[in-house]
């Protein structure tokens, strides 16, 4: 008798080549049972190819893929305990909403009363009650996407794969569907593997994010860890905005590295590993503040280059004496320096807390 695995999908040394192009490069990945995992990256990073290998639409060039305890390599898509929701809904235009959702159950030979009952429950789950008899053309884009989601969920797969499913929706609908997707995933408890290039989507919905680049995973962590403690300059720049300053480690003491940068000295906290040599120091724009003077640590002089009004916040881009620019996103109120009247050319002082700097590999 086999023991139930704690992972729904496992990649071991998976490589996928298309001719001379390596799309996925020796990838190891464990997808935990019941989690919402996002594969995040720009076009060509390998995220969609990885998803397609889970679905069975592509086969790995080498390595192994397990779905549950079963070896999935060579197994056709229809025999895998997964289902996929695509960006393009691919609904049957001549069928009603209910019949679209029930179609997969019909193909499985589920008797009519049972499949209609299960299809109705799936539509209730995605809040499409009362639209069972409509045709897809009578629905909005967001409603059609909900039908596609219900059609996948009604099959009760071990893993639901979502390939940029919100890409065709406008911004407000995307935000609404993000909330709904997370609610549905938590309610049904099915493992979701979600592919996106949109960092906001990944940050808002995921239990963990795998940031991919050149067919490899750069970092796999909870969203707050990826944002607050990115493992590399690539991740730091891909997730949100990041100011970076090149520097050289002068020394480490008491868990704090002293780093010489062109504009002065920065103190950055370290986590266990003592850095040395050349590094990059990262500081998120929202951690940078405008202050009245240079008295105190972590303060630099700069000149305003641009000022943008962002509702209750102001974004400043300022240049230090060595030519390095820093971006600060500051509230209009609550600072000890007046930022409302700043214009390009003004001289200002910038500061950040001792915990704000992040050490990144150069």
H, E, C per residue of the chain: CCCCCCEEEEEEEEEEEECCEEEEEEEEEEEECCCEEEEECCCCCCHHHHHHHHHCCCCCCEEEEEECCEECCCCCHHHCCEEEEECCCCCCCCCCHHHHHHHHHHHCCCCHHHHHHHHHHHHHHCCCCCCCCCCHHHCCHHHHHHHHHHHHHCCCCCEEEEECCCCCCCHHHHHHHHHHHHHHHHHHCCEEEEEECCHHHHHHHCCEEEEEECCEEEEEECHHHHHHCCCCHHHHHHCCCCEEEEEEEEEEECCEEEEEECCEEEEEECCCCCCCCEEEEEECHHHCEEECCCCCCCEEEEEEEEEEEECCEEEEEEECCCCCEEEEEEECCCCCCCCCCCCCCCEEEEECCCCCCEEEEC
Higher pLDDT, 328 or 168: 328
- Any domain includes 18: yes
CA neighbours within 13 Å on the CB side: how many for 329? 13
Among candidate residues 48, 46, 50, the one with its CA nearest the CA of residue 22:
46
Q: What is the rounded average pLDDT of the residues 224-249?
A: 90
> Which pLDDT belongs to residue 275?
75
User: Are residues 294 and 227 part of one domain?
Assistant: no
Q: What is the rounded average pLDDT of the residues 203-228?
A: 96
The Cα-based distances of 13 to 29, 49, 61, 117, 349 in angstroms read 9, 15, 10, 42, 50
- 75 is written with which tokens? 């197994």
Residue 159 has pLDDT above 80, yes or no: yes
The residue to which tokens 């906001």 are assigned:
200
User: Are residues 123 and 260 part of one domain?
Assistant: no
- 273 is written with which tokens? 């590993």
Residue 196 has pLDDT above 90, yes or no: yes
User: Residue 362, Cβ neighbours under 10 Å: how many?
Assistant: 13
Query: Of the candidates 217, 234, 251, which is a domain's last residue?
Result: 234
The residue to which tokens 């190891």 are assigned:
28
Could you tell me the maximum CA-CA distance found in the chain, to the nearest angstrom?
Answer: 77
Among candidate residues 44, 33, 318, 308, the one with its CA nearest the CA of residue 157:
33
| Residues contacting 1, CB < 8 A, separation 6+ | none
Query: Of the candidates 209, 234, 259, which is a domain's last residue?
Result: 234
Degrees, nearest 5: CA angle 285-347-266: 50
Q: In the structure, what pLDDT confidence band is assigned to residue 247 with cuts at 50, 70 and 90?
A: confident
Residue 3 has pLDDT above 50, yes or no: no
Degrees, nearest 5: CA angle 215-221-226: 90
User: Are residues 220 and 249 part of one domain?
Assistant: no
> Which pLDDT belongs to residue 299?
85
- Any domain includes 176: yes
Q: What is the pLDDT of residues 41-88, one digit of tens each?
A: 999 999 999 999 999 999 999 999 999 999 999 999 999 999 999 888
Mean pLDDT of the chain: 90
CATH of the domain at 323: 2.40.50.100
User: Are residues 224 and 114 part of one domain?
Assistant: yes
User: Are residues 187 and 261 part of one domain?
Assistant: no
- Any domain includes 27: yes
Q: In the structure, what pLDDT confidence band is assigned to residue 4 with cuts at 50, 70 and 90?
A: low
Q: Which domain holds residue 102?
A: 7-234
User: Are residues 342 and 218 part of one domain?
Assistant: no
User: Are residues 320 and 189 part of one domain?
Assistant: no
User: Are residues 255 and 215 part of one domain?
Assistant: no
User: Are residues 153 and 41 part of one domain?
Assistant: yes
- Any domain includes 2: no
Q: What is the rounded average pLDDT of the residues 152-170?
A: 90
CA distance 277 to 142: 52
Q: In the structure, what pLDDT confidence band is assigned to residue 7 with cuts at 50, 70 and 90?
A: very high
> Which pLDDT belongs to residue 90?
84
How many domains is the chain built from? 2
Higher pLDDT, 341 or 243: 243
User: Are residues 325 and 290 part of one domain?
Assistant: yes
CATH of the domain at 136: 3.40.50.300
User: Are residues 350 and 267 part of one domain?
Assistant: yes
User: Are residues 110 and 44 part of one domain?
Assistant: yes
Residue 98 has pLDDT above 70, yes or no: yes
What percent of the chain has pLDDT above 70?
Answer: 96
Q: In the structure, what pLDDT confidence band is assigned to residue 262 with cuts at 50, 70 and 90?
A: confident
> Which pLDDT belongs to residue 2?
43
Do the beta carbons of residue 86 and residue 111 sit within 8 Å?
no
Q: In the structure, what pLDDT confidence band is assigned to residue 335 with cuts at 50, 70 and 90?
A: low
Q: In the structure, what pLDDT confidence band is assigned to residue 18 with cuts at 50, 70 and 90?
A: very high
Q: In the structure, what pLDDT confidence band is assigned to residue 306 with cuts at 50, 70 and 90?
A: very high
- Any domain includes 218: yes
> Which pLDDT belongs to residue 334?
56
Query: Of the candidates 234, 258, 283, which is a domain's last residue?
Result: 234
pTM for the model: 0.87
- 193 is written with which tokens? 């593997």
Q: What is the rounded average pLDDT of the residues 323-339?
A: 78
């Amino acid at each position: 008798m086999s023991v139930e695995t704690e992972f729904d999908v496992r990649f071991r040394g998976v490589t996928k080549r298309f001719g001379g192009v390596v799309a996925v490069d020796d990838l190891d990945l464990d997808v935990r049972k019941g989690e919402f995992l996002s594969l995040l990256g720009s076009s060509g990073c390998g995220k969609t190819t990885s998803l397609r290998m889970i679905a069975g639409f592509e086969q790995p060039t080498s390595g192994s893929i397990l779905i549950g305890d079963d070896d999935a390599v060579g197994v056709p898509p229809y025999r895998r305990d997964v289902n996929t929701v695509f960006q393009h809904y691919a609904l049957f235009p001549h069928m009603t909403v209910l019949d679209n959702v029930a179609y997969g159950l019909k193909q499985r030979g589920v008797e009519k009363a049972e499949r209609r009952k299960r299809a109705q429950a799936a539509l209730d789950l995605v809040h499409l009650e009362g639209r069972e008899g409509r045709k897809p053309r009578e629905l909005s884009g967001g409603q059609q996407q909900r039908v596609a989601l219900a059609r996948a969920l009604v099959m009760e797969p071990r893993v639901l794969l979502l390939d940029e499913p919100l890409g065709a929706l406008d911004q407000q609908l995307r935000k609404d569907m993000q909330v709904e997707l997370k609610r549905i995933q938590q309610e049904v408890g099915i493992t979701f593997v979600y592919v996106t290039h949109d960092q906001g989507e990944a940050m808002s919905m995921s239990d963990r994010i795998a940031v991919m680049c050149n067919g490899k995973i750069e970092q796999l962590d909870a969203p707050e860890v990826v944002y607050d403690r990115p493992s590399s300059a690539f991740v730091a720049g891909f997730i949100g905005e990041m100011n970076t300053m090149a520097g050289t480690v002068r020394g480490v003491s008491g868990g704090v590295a002293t780093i010489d940068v062109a504009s002065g000295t920065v103190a950055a906290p370290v986590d266990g590993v003592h850095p040395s040599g050349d590094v990059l120091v990262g500081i998120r724009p929202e951690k940078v503040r405008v202050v009245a003077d240079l008295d105190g640590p972590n303060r630099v002089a700069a000149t305003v280059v641009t000022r943008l009004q962002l509702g209750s916040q102001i974004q400043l881009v300022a240049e230090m004496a060595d030519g390095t620019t820093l971006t600060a996103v500051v509230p209009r109120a609550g600072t000890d320096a007046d930022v409302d009247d700043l214009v390009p050319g003004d001289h200002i002082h910038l500061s950040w807390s001792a915990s704000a700097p992040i050490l990144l590999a150069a």
